[in-house]
Chain A
Amino acid sequence: MKSERILAQNGFAQSEIMLDLYDLKKVYPTPKGDYVVLEHLNLQVKKEEFITIIGHSGCGKTTMLSMIAGLNPISGGGISVLGNSIKGPGPDRGVIFQSPSLMPWMTALDNVMLGVNRVFSHATKKQKEDICKYYLHKVGLEGAFNKRAAELSQGMQQRVGIARAFAIKPKVLLLDEPFGMLDSLTRGELQDVLIEIWNKEKITAVMITHDVDEAIFLADRVVMMTSGPNAKIGDMLTIDFERPRTRKAVIEHDDYYKYRKYLIDFLEH
């Protein structure tokens, strides 16, 4: 099973590729000399693909994601979106952070509007408001448009975070353990919310998670990173469940425990 699940590194046609990390390197200077977090990291993500990334704590997952987001400078190699090298952050790459990072003094609507205003600057006020309301509705917050973010629960705040990211229609969506801080019940709800919107929009997504079940449930492909230093992609696993998926169907599928065991074996290795 192993060999057939692993995709060849450069197995995609150029026209299929949305996001390309080639020979990526990251070095943090420390008082004790340079610390090479990532080296020779190659990863390609297809259009409309949802990948999840797992790996040991401290291996450099956040570092990699923040480099894709443009928030962290690249030490070597490169990152391109649709063939264009990225230069700094930009709204073509939406980010859902681990903490919701909403402006607590703004309403839910205004938080979503912040990005929409920026990206759809030529739309009328009504159109922009409709976009915000559409996505807030999609994440199940129709009653809370005008609540200030500080008054929302963690789970509701992260819903707004999801709406904010989708509303600017990015080419790539980056998620760094977005549900890590939530209790398991809320986490399940938000996974459903996320995957439901995603099924509609099919935005190329890269999501870091520590939760193996979450990784399988959401992804077309699970990417495993080796432990640092000099971390790179260690292995990949294609998840062949058809979409749209339901949690029940996924768990009852014959391959589910095979996938699960494969990932856990990698992590425990």
Chain B
Amino acid sequence: MSDKLIKITRFVGLGFFEPVIRLSRGEESKKNTILILKKIVAPLASILLFLGVWQAGSQALYNIEADSRIEKAFNGQGQAAAAEMRICIESGDVSCQPNTLPSPAQVYGAFKTLLKDHKVINADKKRFKEKTAILNKQRTSEGKNPIVYTGRPSFVDQIITSIKTVFAGFLLAIFIAVPIGVVIGLSSTLRSSFNWLIQILKPVSPVVWLLLVFMVVKTLTKDSNTDSSFIISFVSVGLCAMWATVVNTAMGVSTVDKDFINVAKVLKLSAFQKVFKVILPSSLPLIFTGLRITFSVAWMVLIAIELLAQSPGLGSFVWEEFQNGANDSNSKIIVAMFVIGIIGFLLDRLMLIIQTFVSFSKNEGI
């Protein structure tokens, strides 16, 4: 039973939990205690250390900012204004708070605000839906477009939009990159003739891809009134991130074990069988390594692309908060930063699980 538990924790990348399970069963208590110290206590301590440095840093920055405000007031309006500013800052009044790197507590507060905000917007949406249900039914039966909610998206909505976009971009990358990689990998002639193009396109920055896609999509969707920002962002993400998969797939396909190729030759397999029964399966591990890189690149550039394209998602959330400059904007940006990081980490874990699942060797997986 708990052996299975251990296997599962290892499989999902929570292997550090293993000594706790073992210790609770009374196995090798000394060894497992050390393991717990190493794998759980030490990381926890590092988190505390991180929070401490952050707290101290934000405090120091806060003091610098506060001093400069007081000094500015003194230089501009004299002693009385400076004293007033000091009192104002110390009272915690929002109107004169120094705006700098927020402390951990402030960020946590912003996180709670965002969740509350989400609940409010959700309730609002639900009310809207109930209110327009009958009307919309009528409109659809008349062949008109239903009325949709156009209110502000919540933080959670933004996250969901971003995840949708990254998956769409990732799927696009798979459908373009894997076939290209296979074809190039199969033929050394094609490989050498297109190598220059791949090498040139690979390092192109997401910004340029975005502009390129923008030019094309704008022309193609000129007369339709659909919202093209989603298309633009996921296509740019896909194009920008697919190169690792192209290169890895081509490499996997072109370096299939010579023995396998010989077996295929001796058995005189058809080209189709050779590709689908021998070459593709044996290059799956490398293809998946490529896909994993593609996925993490996609997530990373997505934020930048959303920010630039003004398409909904975490990127534009960050940008709007930055422009907004409200009292808790900085804290919200930091919340977004953590959310982006954690989601990126989880998505990578997901890919790793799939990768270990499809790779055939017993001890594969990086």
Is B361's CB under 8 angstroms from A150's CB? Answer: yes
Is A103's CB under 8 angstroms from B265's CB? Answer: no
CA distance A104 to B260 in the complex (A): 10
Which residues on B sit within 8 Å (CB–CB) of A136? Answer: none
Interface string of A78-100 (1 = CB under 8 A from B): 00000000001111011101010
With CB as the reference atom, state the residue of chain A lying closest to B259. Answer: A101
CA distance A150 to B259 in the complex (A): 15
Is B260's CB under 8 angstroms from A101's CB? Answer: yes
Q: Which residue of the partner chain, among B282, B284, B360, contacts A148 with CB atoms under 8 Å?
A: B360
Which residues on B sit within 8 Å (CB–CB) of A71? Answer: 262, 265-266
Which residues on B sit within 8 Å (CB–CB) of A67? Answer: none
Q: How many A-B residue pairs have CB under 8 A?
A: 62
- For residue B266, give the distance in angstroms from its CB to the closest CB of chain A: 5
Q: Which residue of the partner chain, among A88, A99, A114, contacts B269 with CB atoms under 8 Å?
A: A114
With CB as the reference atom, state the residue of chain B lying closest to A95. Answer: B266
- For residue A121, give the distance in angstroms from its CB to the closest CB of chain B: 10
CA distance A69 to B259 in the complex (A): 13
Which residues on B sit within 8 Å (CB–CB) of A99? Answer: 259
Is B260's CB under 8 angstroms from A103's CB? Answer: yes
The number of chain A residues touching the other chain, given as a range, is: 20 to 34
CA distance A71 to B267 in the complex (A): 12
Q: Is B5 an interface residue (CB 8 A)?
A: no
Which residues on B sit within 8 Å (CB–CB) of A130? Answer: none
Q: Is B362 an interface residue (CB 8 A)?
A: yes
Which residues on A sit within 8 Å (CB–CB) of B265? Answer: 70-71, 88-89
- For residue A115, give the distance in angstroms from its CB to the closest CB of chain B: 5
Which residues on A sit within 8 Å (CB–CB) of B30? Answer: none
Q: Is B278 an interface residue (CB 8 A)?
A: yes
Which residues on B sit within 8 Å (CB–CB) of A90? Answer: 266, 268
CA distance A70 to B260 in the complex (A): 15
Interface residues of A, dominant DSSP: loop
Is B269's CB under 8 angstroms from A94's CB? Answer: no
Q: Is A168 an interface residue (CB 8 A)?
A: yes
Q: Is B53 an interface residue (CB 8 A)?
A: no
Q: Which residue of the partner chain, among A101, A115, A150, contacts B362 with CB atoms under 8 Å?
A: A150
Q: Is A16 an interface residue (CB 8 A)?
A: no
With CB as the reference atom, state the residue of chain B lying closest to A102. Answer: B263
CA distance A70 to B278 in the complex (A): 20
Is A101's CB under 8 angstroms from B361's CB? Answer: no
- Known contacts A97-B259, A101-B263; decide if A151 and B362 are in contact (CB<8 Å): yes
Which residues on B sit within 8 Å (CB–CB) of A105? Answer: 281-282, 284, 360
CA distance A89 to B266 in the complex (A): 5
Interface string of B231-273 (1 = CB under 8 A from A): 0000000000000000000000000010110110111110001
Interface residues of A in 22-72 (CB under 8 A from B): 69-71
Can you give 6 A-B contacts (C-beta < 8 A)?
Answer: A71-B265, A89-B262, A90-B266, A105-B284, A106-B277, A118-B267
Residue numbers of B with Cβ under 8 A of A are: 257, 259-260, 262-263, 265-269, 273, 277-278, 281-282, 284, 360-362
Residue numbers of A with Cβ under 8 A of B are: 69-71, 88-91, 93-95, 97, 99, 101, 103-106, 114-115, 118-119, 148, 150-151, 168
Nearest first, the 10 A-B pairs at minimum CB distance are A105-B360, A101-B259, A89-B265, A115-B267, A105-B281, A104-B360, A89-B266, A95-B266, A118-B267, A150-B360
